[in-house]
Amino acid sequence: MPVNAKTEDLEAFITVVDSGSFSNAANLLEQQVAKVSRAVTRLEKVVNATLLNRTTRRLELTEEGALFLQYARDGLNMLEKGEEALRLVKHLPAGKLRVDAASPFVFHQLAPLIGQFSEAFPDIRLEVTSHDNIIDLLEHKTDIAIRIGDLSDSNLHARQLGKSKLHIVASPEYLKANPVIGDASNLVHHKLIGFSDSPKLNRWPLKQDVVLRFHLHASSGETIRHFCLAGQGIALLSNFMVHKDIAAGSLVSVFEDEIISPNRRESVQAVYYKNSAVSSRISAFLDFIQPRLTL
């Protein structure tokens, strides 16, 4: 029996479901809303079933739509894998790869590797974005996001790249004027620098219960690092962004024995959607950077 559904109609249907609306899907597909709507309607006629219940307030899958969705995903993923397999017979991985990570990870880990990666895979066009908060991969058209800490989103497929220990750090100048004595309970007497947009990052994994009060906040870990370098206080930051500063003596790690390890903030993971085809571009990128990261 011949397959009558067009791949572009299947893609429209899946994107509408994943993005939550026809307008979001149109934006992601760079098409007009009417065209996306016609594609889904055309698909419903082909399969002779209503796939989506449309109301003014929300969009939801019908029972038939939920059943058909997984087959549509699997079919498109298989086609994508087949196309890539043919391209790889004679060529290296090719095409655009969108990667997102927090700005400190981009600056300290990815930036030094981009030139080498581009030489090894000249046909992959990298597009690197930086968000310090967790983003929606679909909304931002992102293939891979590198995230620090444990994951809670079960819709994502994850590959652990390693672990990065945490350091409580301050500059020698700050410590000269504000000596560190005793144990972590003495942090209450110091100027602490915390995150303004992520309160959970201000809960330090200390072995003893200490009520921390922050006198300075910033949205980016890289900004906090620079505040520390400028002698503005003490902060808790990942090894991947401060290990060179510690080695150079620009920052000093204090209360090292007071931090619980392992802890929820140490994991460094690359994530992508479980239902997407794991393309050769993604595999090439992760296989290249993982052994070269200095976490």
Task: Tell me the average pLDDT across 132-144.
Answer: 70
Rounded Cα–Cα distance for residues 62 and 146 (Å): 34
Whether residues 20 and 44 fall in one domain:
yes
Per-residue confidence (pLDDT) for residue 107, from 0 to 100: 94
Instruction: Work out the mean pLDDT of the chain and round it to a whole number.
Output: 87
Residue 1 is assigned to a structural domain of this protein: no
Choice between 74 and 169, residue whose per-residue pLDDT is larger: 169
Report CA-CA distances (Å) from 129 to 144, 177, 197.
Answer: 10, 39, 18
Whether residues 81 and 16 fall in one domain:
yes
Whether residues 179 and 66 fall in one domain:
no
Indicate the pLDDT class of residue 134, thresholds 50, 70 and 90.
Answer: low
Estimate to the nearest angstrom the gap between the alpha carbon of 27 and the chain centroid.
21
Q: What is the pLDDT of residues 214-261, one digit of tens each?
A: 999 998 999 999 999 999 999 999 999 999 999 999 999 999 999 999
Residues 6+ apart with CB under 8 A from 286: 144, 159, 161, 270
Whether residues 22 and 71 fall in one domain:
yes
- Count of all residues that appear for the chain in the document: 295
Estimate to the nearest angstrom the gap between the alpha carbon of 186 and the chain centroid.
35
* DSSP label at residue 106: I
List own/partner pairs for 42-45 with CB under 8 A and 24 or more apart.
42/6, 42/9, 43/5, 43/6, 43/9, 43/10, 43/12, 43/13
Whether residues 203 and 239 fall in one domain:
yes
Domain extent, residue 58, equals: 7-88
Whether residues 117 and 246 fall in one domain:
no
Task: Tell me the average pLDDT across 77-102.
Answer: 77
Identify the residue whose tokens are 């889904």. Answer: 40
CATH number at residue 253: 3.40.190.10
Q: How much of the chain exceeds pLDDT 70, in percent?
A: 89
